Amino acid sequence: MKKNNKSEVINFGCRLNIYESEIIKNLIKKNNIKNTIVFNTCGVTNEAERQARQSIRKYKKNNPNKNIFVTGCAAQINPNKFNMMKEVDLIIGNNQKIQEETWKNFKLVKKQKFENIMDVKKIYPNVVEKFDGNARAYVEIQQGCNHRCTFCVIPFGRGNNRSVPIGLITKRVKKLVSNGYKEVVLTGVDITDYGNDLPGKPNLSQMIKRLLRLVPELKQLRLSSLDCAELNEDFWEILKYEERLMPHLHISLQSGNDIILKRMKRRHSRKQAIEFCEIAKKIRPGIVFGADLIAGFPTENNKMFEETCSLINECDLTYLHVFPYSKREGTPAAKMPQVADLEKKQRAKQLRNIGNIQLNKYFADLKGKEKTILIEKEFKDYSLGKTQEYAPVRINSRLEAGNLFKKRIISFKDNLLIA
């Protein structure tokens, strides 16, 4: 039986990790690294870190002869936890994982020397040409975060804000479009803080405007998570006049109560969130919103929680990412009075139920309407994709993945549109 020496990357977490995993794949291939599995971890919650460790143990048990390398945010934040795992052969810092020098000159010495991520100033000019198994492409526009939300450890995994120059972003997008991608997603840790560290301080809106002008062949541009407190008037102009900017915005809201937002150290207020959504709906009729919400943040009482529930309707949110608050060591929120675990789970369930009602209401309104759909997967007699508003669709015919088609919505079932 032939021995399998193939290497691969197992990805956890955000869209930025998806982008970086492709860089790692390219570097592994270029440097002819065999018989190795790289776990690119997420550190946003304790649960994400636990799942990564569990996956590593399971994989090593089933593949005892493979080398296990660990990188990503969880490895950067808590390298000692992975260092103690007998299954792990090498731990690589979050900044080093995308440097060619790392993959040229590594030794199986358990833990490589980690840079202080807060001292990192450089953005590496990697250009990703394709994303295996993905119909849409991802482009990193910035790294790190200058804010310090009291529940979040990600700045300690990613460092401070570092923006990618507009010229390099354009180069990355042009390469992807030339390789057949119809949709590109701009991603980063805090993309609305884009440009503060660049000469002339170009903002996100100015960068988007220039990018769309320089790459007219790009069909669809999508944005990852936004902070509604950081966007300016330029953004409304693009949203109103540029149809290639998708009518789907995902907002990092977290709570609907002003006291909790202050204790989280968020930049926006409840009023700002509602006004942001109202303006966007007036400027771009039919726009759809997603949002991150945390249930059971420390000190949250029932009245505060009800304000988050009512915010869903007031902002007309459709896609909810709901998380029960996860206590993270070393964060200010971990020292605050905690909400009971059962209460957190019940509140998260209630938010998800409201989200399902919102989603079904939105899907019911789409019946009979024609929508542009990016095909993500093709099967023998059907296809799966997403509308420009990011609604999942099943098309009752086989269509080629990666292409755009206009189809009429006929019904929906189990949170899936039928076209």
pLDDT tens by residue, the chain, 419 residues: 445 778 889 899 888 888 888 889 988 888 888 889 999 999 888 888 889 999 999 999 999 999 999 999 999 988 888 888 999 988 998 888 888 888 887 765 556 656 788 888 888 777 788 888 889 999 999 999 999 999 999 888 888 999 999 999 999 999 999 999 999 999 999 999 999 999 999 999 999 999 999 999 999 999 999 999 999 889 999 999 999 999 999 999 999 999 999 999 999 999 999 999 999 999 999 999 999 999 999 999 999 999 999 999 999 999 999 999 998 888 999 999 999 999 999 999 999 999 999 999 999 999 999 999 999 999 999 999 999 999 999 999 999 999 999 999 999 998 899 99
Radius of gyration of the chain (CA): 22
Write b or e for each residue in 14-41: b if 16 or more Cβ atoms lie within 10 A of its Cβ, otherwise e: bbbbbbbbbbbbbbbeeeebeebbbbbb
The CA-CA-CA angle for residues 62, 66, 68, to 5°, reads: 100
**pTM of the predicted structure, to 2 decimals:** 0.90
Fold classified for 370-418 = OB fold (Dihydrolipoamide Acetyltransferase, E2P) (2.40.50)
Closest CA to 372 of 388, 391, 396: 388
CB 279 within 8 A of CB 308: no
- For 137-366, which CATH superfamily applies? tm_1862 like domain (3.80.30.20)
Domain positions in the chain are 8-115, 137-366, 370-418
What angle do helix axes 233-241 and 204-214 make, rounded to 10 degrees? Answer: 30
Distance CA 185, CA 169 (A): 12
Distance CA 307, CA 177 (A): 43
Six-digit token pair at 263?
A: 């204790």
Distance CA 53, CA 281 (A): 43
Write b or e for each residue in 100-117: b if 16 or more Cβ atoms lie within 10 A of its Cβ, otherwise e: eebbeebeeeebbeeeeb
Fold classified for 8-115 = Rossmann fold (3.40.50)
